Amino acid sequence: MKLMVASDLHGSVYWTRKVIERFKEEQADYLVLLGDLLYHGPRNPLPKEYNPQEVIQLLNSIKHHIIAVRGNCDSEVDQMVLEFPMTADYQLIPMGNRKLMATHGHLYEDEQILRFLQKGDVMIFGHIHIPVLREKEGIYYLNPGSATLPKEDHPQTYAILNNNLFEVKTFDGQVYRQLFLP
């Protein structure tokens, strides 16, 4: 199963279109959205082409291919307009011989993760707008960065998880970072 992972769209029509274009070009089975889908939040600037209503239409057009979790800028009212489940704090996704825990990243600390995951499993999170590829105590922590509002001079990115390879890519399809999961 091939997954595309994106986080922190923050209501940008421009970057949501790019995410969907890359999803189709990558031919992924599912698009895993790690929260903060529609709103920019009080700490962020307005993103390029901010229009949550149009983002809703774009995401609903591929609703059967989306696995999503709630971010700290998402609310229950968002579920009234989005046609795929997105209010869960986390999703557990079986993938081969490992389990993936997808979450936004604002609720769970490393110690809490150990209740859900075991050695070899993967925690995929967003929230910090920075790509992360690291291993701690046998658990892999992966962050695709932000599609819309990256921080610390990183470019806009998304990620592909295909078999045991996690690649963070720029929107021109170039590999920015990668990690092989043994």
Task: Quickly state the pLDDT bin for 113 (edges 50, 70, 90).
Answer: confident
CATH homologous superfamily for the domain 2-180: Metallo-dependent phosphatases (3.60.21.10)
Predicted TM-score (pTM) of the model is 0.95
The structural domains of the chain, with segments of one domain joined by +, span 2-180
Residue 109 pLDDT: 67
Q: Is the pLDDT of residue 94 over 90?
A: yes
* DSSP secondary structure letter of residue 53: H
C-beta contacts of 149-156 below 8 A and 24+ residues apart: 149/8, 149/10, 149/40, 149/44, 149/45, 149/47, 154/129, 154/130, 156/15, 156/18
Give yes or no for residue 152 having a pLDDT over 70.
yes
The C-alpha atoms of residue 177 and residue 170 are separated, in whole angstroms, by 9
Quote the CA–CA distance of 107 and 98 in Å, as a whole number: 22
